[in-house]
Amino acid sequence: MRRKVLYLLTLFIFLISLTSCDIQIGDIFGSNSSDELTPSIDSTEEPTNSQDVEPTIEPSSTTPSIAETPTPTPTPTIEVTPTPTPTPYIEEDGEELLKNNSFDSLNSWTIYNDGNVSQKVVSNGNGVLKLEINNKNSAQNWSVQCLQNGIILENGKEYELSFEITSSYTRSIQFLIQQDTSYSPIPFNKTYSLNANEPLIVKEKFIVDQTSTYLYGFMLGNVNGTLNDNHIITIKNPSLLGDKLEIESQEGLDGTYDAATTSKNGKTLVWNDEFNSTTLDETKWTHQIGNGSGGWGNNELQYYTSSTSNSYVSNGSLKIVARKESMNSYNYTSARIITKDKYEFKYGYIEARMALPSMNGIWPAFWMLGADIDENPWPFSGEIDIMEAINYNNEIYSTIHWNQGSSYSHAYTGTSAINVGNRCEYHTYALDWTSTKLTFYVDGTEIYSVDISTNSSMSCFNNEFYILFNVAVGGNWPGFNIGDSFPQAMSVDYIRVYQ
């Protein structure tokens, strides 16, 4: 009994002594209640990166002992950056062409009446002009005018007019842009209905087809037979902006890829355009104008212009821009440029680096036509489509056309749809052309080859060809369901020919 009491007393003293140490009872008796004893290994699957590679995390084959517990290795993070939708360009306002549009002074403005009516300036300044008008005896829309003369506008360029106008009386007004002295042409002419004391904000675009001096004019007389008593017309912030400046909105489309290499595929650079100037080189390129015959044979819907709103060079690349706007009874404008009579060649390696538009009904192309097309009409002269794309799919096509036999018999062969990833980003499209074969490439990878040596009808491909770039809208191939995301631009960083 005495030994048992002594044993219990000794055990009690031992346990009391443990309370003064940093040792837990569980450390001695092996309790597994602590969360720190077994480190967790996070094997959660990471999102894929842009190359669809999944990171792999291998858990340790053994659980480390307590004394050797390592700091867990952080799970690697692979950031997936989504591919942005490229915007080929943005627009910045052009130069203001009106003088004194603040109305702080009426210099450069003419306020006119024909003597049958009266008008007077109530106030002017801070961008606002107020006129008191009595149209009771007015017979003509031009009986009262507020206008500015002597504005030089250039052929083929696009301009934007804007203003805000209010009448204290319900009536109509006419606004026009017209030639200064002969009063023709009139590139813009529109009548607006005004409700009493309700401001009307106007913003319109127009294209000039003759370089001349023009007037910017409000016709405030008897428009549409609205005879009215004394009332106030308020004109606010009139503006006439010059041709818009279109600039890159994305670094990837700035056209600064590389300098022209002097050789490629064993051939030497013989002709190129890097588009590094500020204007299109007219010693190399010619604009084709209009809608051709039957919509260029394809029932296309656009009217091709030489306007800098449809084709221009900036930031190291050529832009061809399709727009939704009316011209010569067509609802769309665009551009088509060719090297015909300026550069024609036979055989070689031709390559262009391009970013393409994408929308239902859009049809960008990089192609060639036989230089003898005037003597041997299509398809006898031959056609080589290095790259065509339609609508919004990320697919391109390479095709050749020729005439099979002596009488008209159109023949063609080419690729099926070739997926290029995001076609709105830059890719290179190329053709290696020899006397026996045509081989097509995308980003340096061969996509199609055709032997032209075994068919005598393909002899047209042993003649000289010229180069074309264009963006069509609608037609037999893309169809006539046209999207509404205009403008649509094709960017060309460079074009190079090696022989």
- The residue written with tokens 């077994």 in the block is 38
Q: How would DSSP label each residue in 285-354? A: -EE--B-TTTIIIII--EEE---TTTEEEETTEEEEEEEEEEETTEEEEE-EEE-TTT--B-SEEEEEEE
d(Cα 460, Cα 462) in Å, to the nearest integer? 5
Name the residue with tokens 């912030």: 237
Give which of 153, 167, 128, 142 is closest to 205, Cα–Cα. 153
Q: Is 7 helix (H, G, I), strand (E, B) or coil?
A: helix
Q: What is the phi/psi pair of residue 227, to 5°? A: -70, 130
**How far apart are the C-alpha atoms of 269 and 263, rounded to whole Å?**
6
**Is the peptide bond preceding residue 357 cis, with omega within 30 degrees of 0?**
no
Catalytic residue flag (residue 45): no
The span from the CA of 99 to the CA of 215, in Å, is: 12
Query: What does each C-alpha distance from 127 to 133, 163, 175, 246, 479 come to in angstroms?
Result: 19, 10, 18, 27, 47
SS3 141: helix
> What's the number of CA atoms in the CB half-sphere (13 Å) around residue 412?
15
CA distance 333 to 295: 12
Q: φ and ψ at 199, to 5 degrees? A: -65, 140
Distance in angstroms (rounded) separating the CA atoms of residues 312 and 295: 23
What tokens were used for 123? Answer: 């106030």
Q: Among the options 246, 325, 351, 383, which is catalytic?
A: 383
Radius of gyration of the chain (CA): 37
H or E element in which residue 123 lies = strand 118-125
C-alpha–C-alpha distance, residues 429 and 419, integer Å:
13
CB 238 within 8 A of CB 216: yes
Q: Which of 410, 270, 407 is nearest to 344 (CA)?
A: 270
For residue 160, indicate whether it is catalytic. Answer: no
Using DSSP's 3-state secondary structure scheme, residue 48 falls into: coil
The structure tokens listed for 342 are 């300026």
Instruction: Choose the catalytic residue: 248, 300, 388, 425.
Output: 388
In the three-class reduction of DSSP (H, G, I as helix; E, B as strand; rest coil), residue 5 is classed as: helix
As beta bridge partners, residue 136 has: none
Catalytic residues: 383, 388
